[in-house]
Structure 1
Amino acid sequence: MTDEDFRDADLSHQNWEGRQFSHTEFVDADLRGLVTKGCTFDHCDFTRADLGESKHTASAFRSCKFERTNLMHSEFGGCTFLGANFFECRFRPWKLSDTDLTLVSLAGANLRKTTLSGLRFREANLSAADLRDCDLTGTDLRGARLLETQLAGADLRGAQLDANGLRQAALSGARVDVDTAIAFAAAYGLQVGE
């Protein structure tokens, strides 16, 4: 479906499989409890939509807009949000597994205590996001913008961060492995070695 308008629509508790949407408006739509499998959403607008308690498997939300969207208690497994933009959304609790968040914008997002382990955040905008006490083990954060990102108490063991990310993020109190600690020291110009 292209250029469809589901504004204010009640689409709650439906099951969609293999459906494709492009430039579709879901503004203010009730999508609570929606189940998708293998669906594609390209350039869709979910502003103020209610996706609470929804479940998504192997679905793609590419370059979609999520503004003031309710995502509480939603689950995404094997999904992609490539280039999606999140602004003032309600996330927690939010369950993500094997999900690609490359090039997403989550600036200022409150994801405190969320499990984000093993996810791909390559070149994502996480500026000023609250990631305190998050499980970020094995997460790919290469190229991510982490300016003023709060990571106190976060578990970053096995995470991949580049020098810019290590310099930008507020890492005080974060848990890291030896390789990240060495990379952190090198990012600040320290000579590591015997």
Structure 2
Amino acid sequence: METGAVETGEDYRDAVLSGQRWAGSRFVRCDFTDADLRGLATSGCVFDHCDFTRTDLGESVHRSSAFRTCTFDRTMLGDSSWSGCSLLGSVFVDCGLRTITLADCDLTLVSLADAVLRGMELSGLRLREANLTGADLRRATLREADLTGATLTAAKLTDADLRGARLDARALAAADMAGTLVDVDTALLYAAAHGLVVS
């Protein structure tokens, strides 16, 4: 892929593009369904409204790239690494996420409903208004994460670490938080969400 290339509406279905390095390229409404992108390295790339259904992105590395309003449906993401990336508004369905690495990433408005995130390191991530309905976050580390406005209905946060995380009372009332590690501010919010009066 040529550096700085702009691709719009391209069909990459079933393409074999494993091990490639893409820098500064932009993809708009491109279809990567069933493509082999294993080991792909992206830097400063932008993907808008792209479809990664059943795409193999295993062992891929992404730095300062944006995946905005993209679809990841049964996408293979094992051992992939994402650093300084934006995944704004993207949807993840039935993706194996437990072996991916996320650092300094923006997951605002991302849908991770029913995702298995058990034991993952998610500290400092921006998850504002993310859909985490039914997500398995047991033993996950979410220290200093921004969960403002996130939907946590039926989310499992047992033994998770939420110290320093930003949440609102509505989210705290909806999640299963038995054994969750929290700081004093979050504990007070949790108490208030459950009708307790702290004096």
TM-score bracket, shorter-length normalisation: over 0.9
> Could you report, residue by residue, the CA deviation over 1:102-156 in whole angstroms, capped at 9, with x for unpaired residues?
0010000011111000001100100001111101000001100100001111100
Task: Identify the residue that residue 29 of structure 2 maps to in structure 1.
Answer: 23
Matched, 1:151 2:160: no
Superposed CA RMSD: 0.6
1:1-194 matched pairs, under 5 angstroms:
1-193=7-199
Q: CA deviation at 1:19?
A: 0.4
Rounded Cα–Cα distance in structure 2 between residues aligned with 1:146 and 1:191: 23
- Distance in 2, Cα, partners of 1:115 & 1:5: 34
Per-residue CA deviations over 1:151-171 (Å, capped at 9, x if unaligned) read 111100000110111001110
The CA deviation at 1:94 is 1.0
Gaps of at least 5 residues in structure 1 are: none
- What's the TM-score once normalised by structure 1's chain length? 0.98
1:141 corresponds to which letter in structure 2?
L
The 1-side partners of 2:133 and 2:82 are apart by 23
Separation in structure 2 between the aligned mates of residue 140 and residue 147 of structure 1, nearest angstrom: 17
Runs of 4+ in 1 over 2 A off after TM superposition: none
Aligned residue identity for 1:9: A
Q: CA deviation digits over 1:12-42, x for unaligned, max 9? A: 1100000000000000011110000000000
Q: Does the residue aligned with 1:184 lie in a helix, a strand or coil?
A: helix
Q: Could you say which residue in structure 1 is the equivalent of 2:4?
A: none
1:183 positional shift: 1.0
Deviations 1:48-91 (A, max 9, x none): 00111000000000000000001110010000010000001111
Confirm or deny: 8 A CA contact 1:71 1:92 kept in the other structure.
no
State the TM-score, normalized to the length of structure 2. 0.96
Q: CA deviation at 1:189?
A: 2.1
- Give the C-alpha shift of residue 192 in structure 1: 1.4
How many residues are treated as equivalent by the alignment?
A: 193
Identity across matched positions, percent = 58
The one-letter code sitting in structure 2 at the alignment partner of 1:172 is: A
Gapped regions of structure 2 (runs ≥ 5): 1-6
